[in-house]
Amino acid sequence: MIFVEILYLDPRLREEDKKREQQSMMLVDAPWSLIIGAYALAGAITYYLVPRCIAIAQKFNILDHPNGTIKTHAVPTAYLGGVAVYLGFLVSVGLVFPFDNQFFLFFIGSTILFFVGLIDDLMPLAPLQKFIGQALAVICFLKGGIYVKAHILHDIPTILLSALWMLFVINTINLIDIMDGLATVVALFCASSFFIIALMGCQYTIALLLAVFMGNLMAFLVFNKPRASIYLGDAGSLFIGGILSVIPFLINWGSLTHYGFIAPFIILAIPLLEGTFLILIRTYKHIPFYKPSPDHFAIKLKLQGYSPKEVLVGVSCASIILMIVAIGFVAEVISLLQVIMLGLLFATNWTYCIYLKRNQ
């Protein structure tokens, strides 16, 4: 008893105890009926829309044709999956989500990304044209106040860093969308990680937004898993990338842990590694980084003999590991040093298994 009383004289221990108590109450306080309802509604709407989008794509020949290099699917496959995901998200959010100016500009920016991708699916755009469209979307996000707020830097550097992050994440999600179900699965695990962390911080508005997003992705995955009957297309991958690029700025990391801003790098490690390696490899090969090449990690794994389903299982396992590390870090179960060590181990293993192993 004396030992317990002495412990509670330390204010840091009392603060940590209060924090653990608050985190233990989050599941009780969360508006679960609304969150589950939003998830189910988004899933139902998207599930209803996908077969209609498949029929329209087939009728008007809006199909993704295999080319034997990057696009290695067996038969022409319907595009317009992004239409179903976007409309399912938009309708569901309109029914359940509380709007304000910040989120209005968030939806405007996401809509711009969707239409830029849709135009590119129907009538391929030049890289510069796609970039201008993406930049307009990012400007909308920034106008909505969605960027890093750091006291140690002025607004201009933080805004520029935030814009670069958004553009990079948007394009990395687009880059991994080269195999049945891959971008959908990666995005679903990333959204799930952000969802759990939002609940940990009692940030239920963000959790509600993510519940809608997760419902969209889960319903779409039914049709997008191997062998896929529909693809996201650029409309879907740019839209999804836009949401994932913005979510880290909507979560109040400071209320969770001092270095919480590192968590998005953990959660989005797979698309970030994909984008980084593709830039490095294409630069080494003297290929412009925006030009396609068969250097994607999914293609490398398939060349090693893995089936699309096996690639998805491997990516899912890696995503679960990243989710556990991110949540453990935010909950202060895993230290910053341990995260750095685990990150180096993950990146090394990723590099060996994908880019070095097959050469031995």
For residue 8, being part of any structural domain is answered with no
User: Distance between CA 19 and CA 4 in Å, rounded?
Assistant: 18
- Token reading at 358: 């097959």
What type of residue is 322? Answer: L
**Angle of CA points 36, 203, 241, to nearest 5°:** 75
For residue 273, being part of any structural domain is answered with yes
Check pLDDT > 90 for residue 150.
no
User: Distance between CA 36 and CA 46 in Å, rounded?
Assistant: 15
- Token reading at 178: 């080269």
The residue among 226, 231, 233, 234 whose CA lies nearest residue 302 is 226
At residue 75, the pLDDT reads 75
For residue 6, being part of any structural domain is answered with no
pLDDT band, residue 14 (cuts 50/70/90):
very low
Q: Yes or no: say if 35 and 26 are a contact pair by the CB < 8 Å rule.
A: no
How many domains are there within the chain? 1
Each residue of 258-304: pLDDT tens digit? Answer: 888 899 999 999 999 999 999 999 999 999 888 888 899 999 998 89
Cα dihedral value 155, 160, 161, 163, nearest 10? 120
For residue 3, being part of any structural domain is answered with no
Q: Yes or no: say if 263 and 329 are a contact pair by the CB < 8 Å rule.
A: yes
For residue 173, being part of any structural domain is answered with yes
Q: Which residues, 6 or more positions from 136, have their beta carbon under 8 angstroms from its beta carbon?
A: 109, 112
User: Distance between CA 262 and CA 253 in Å, rounded?
Assistant: 9
Name the strand (E) or helix (H) holding 60.
Answer: none
Domain that holds residue 141: 20-359
At residue 68, the pLDDT reads 59
For residue 162, being part of any structural domain is answered with yes
For residue 9, being part of any structural domain is answered with no
For residue 157, being part of any structural domain is answered with yes
Check pLDDT > 70 for residue 17.
no
